[in-house]
A and B are shown apart, each in its own frame.
Chain A
Amino acid sequence: MQYQSQIVAKPYFIAAIGLFIGQILFGLILGLQYVVGDFLFPEIPFNVARMVHTNLLIVWLLFGFMGAAYYLIPEETETELYSPKLALGLFWIFLVAGALTVLGYLLVPYSGLAQMTGNDLLPTMGREFLEQPTITKIGIVVVALGFLFNIGMTLLKGRKTTVSLVLMLGLVGLAVMFLFSFYNPVNLVHDKFFWWWVVHLWVEGVWELIMASILAFVLIKVTGVDREVIEKWLYVIIAMALITGIIGTGHHYYWIGAPEYWQWWGSVFSALEPIPFFMMTVFAFNMVNRRRRNHPNKAAMLWALGTAVMAFLGAGVWGFLHTLAPVNYYTHGTQITAAHGHMAFYGAYVMIVLTMISYAMPMMRGRAAANSNKSQVLEMWSFWLMTVSMVFITLFLTAAGVLQVWLQRYSDAPQAFMVVQDKIALFYWMREAAGVVFLIGLVLYVLSFFVGSKEPEAVQS
């Protein structure tokens, strides 16, 4: 670790991993409820478990992004963090607020939670992914502002690199777009139209800037390739991400009451959305091939290559699969969407956070550059188990989705939703089995932090 204040990233990463475990456990509950409908009913109804599953994902990724920024920014700017104390204070505020929110989901009926938290004053709850009580949303904004202030002040007093500027731009965009979560008009079409300004312009917009800059940082570190080359790639990738992704929002506007010209704008631009992800893959492999050193942290290198490939498959290929309007007419809101969502989030955002943790954690725990071989081998096992099982989760959900589309939407005699769900149950069972393998991979991942810590550090080969 080059700067003492980078250590504030550590609690952020630990919290991220802790919440990740919670997310996966609730994912397994949901998967089982798909086939054993009354599992844990009425204690944990599906809607509650799903809210916990998706909200934990968002919160732990935010912990991961913030941790990544606190580690990356001092090193890039070559100066200590503006205020490590503020960073630690915000950490606890965010963790406690997040924990209280999840407990609220689990312990109080949702309508009671809405009442308790004064949702009537400014109703923002009850919309997908934005289920948090309004007061939690305000808390998120406060934490985000404090965080941006801290990072921004550090950036101002230090060296301004492309990597840190792009990261900052992504994080500012994240905070700004979140403000649309407070806009909840009665008009359902308006509501949906601007709801996507949070959801789409996060994951297919500004988050890609965050992902690409973290990837660029790690690649600079582990490959030793000239910064100029990597930063040039970074600019081209994020240029393509925003050029395609902003108008690409249109692929959500086909069937919600917006004008039909969105079918053209959305189809054309979102068909181009795989390009930045493909470039990321080419970029990562290119840089690793041109490496000037063999970094001893092989696990971090594996995550970096893995995230580039899986983001391309999950976000790029599986996104393209159902993005053209004539296809989406039949697939909209089916298990195809779920399949895409799982692999895209895992490939792009889970794996980039794990890449950063893999790279930074050894240094924060007193190693010079990397964990012992033993620990790395276990971590790489967890990489393969989680990644391969996620591929299978995606394939099973895709199969379920194709059948669902055929039976419920496309055939001459369309069948009712629940009738079709029963017929595709086999694929839900297989998805659940793949989910269990994912959990095993996650357990190995956690264990990799505890094994081989007494053994000597892996050396440059």
Chain B
Amino acid sequence: MSGTFTKSMARNIFYGGSVFFILVFLALTFDTVKALPKLDNRGELTPQVALGKKVWEDNNCIGCHTLLGEGAYFAPELGNVYTRRGPDFIRTWMQIQPTGAPGRRQMPQFNLNDEELDAIVAFLKYSSEINTANWPPNIEG
């Protein structure tokens, strides 16, 4: 890279290119936010789901699990756990932790009350109904 290609040309490519693609990105973001009402299952966003998301966050569930594929990879995907296991299983499962089985991965006991348990189930139901372009590939997550 010498001769006719100068530093100021390189600088112009940097500033011009960056500004251009920032604008494209903002335009796509604008379009996405406009399109989301049809995809993000916001009709189900009840106060109970909001509480469920808070319970999810306050207990750092993402520190072991994935949710729509994002998070830690230590424990099962929970974006579709509502369809995989159903509400009763989720509730009971959380209440009987930890299993204490020697050598097995352990989930802490989070001591959630009934209201919080129902909320986390509602949040996971809401999550499972987001339009994720058919991800995950199968029920196992």
- Name A residues whose Cβ lies closer than 8 Å to a Cβ of B: 33-34, 36-38, 41-42, 45-48, 50-51, 109-111, 114-115, 119, 123, 125-128, 131, 162, 184, 186-190, 192-193, 228-229, 231-233, 235-236, 238-239, 242-243, 246-247, 249-250, 252-260, 262-263, 265, 329-330, 332-335, 337-338, 408-410, 414-418, 421
Contacts and interface: CB of A to CB of B under 8 A. Distances in A.
Interface in B68-83: 68-77
A131 B60 contact: yes
Contacts of B126: 188
Contacts of B68: 188, 192, 255-257
Interface in B28-44: 28-29, 31-33, 35-36, 39-42
A226 B79 CA distance: 54
Can you list the 3 inter-chain pairs with the closest CB atoms, starting with the nearest? A47-B63, A126-B57, A333-B69
Contacts of B101: 38
A424 to B, nearest CB: 11
A333 B77 contact: yes
Interface range on chain B (Cβ under 8 Å from partner)? 35 or more
A358 B61 CA distance: 39
B32 A37 contact: no
Contacts of A46: 63-64, 72, 74-75, 105
B140 to A, nearest CB: 5
Given A111-B58, A255-B132, A409-B137, A38 B105 contact: yes
A126 B58 contact: yes
Contacts of B102: 38
A116 to B, nearest CB: 12
A126 B56 contact: yes
Given A243-B17, A263-B133, A414-B140, A162 B39 contact: no
B64 A47 contact: yes
A37 B39 contact: no
B57 A235 contact: no
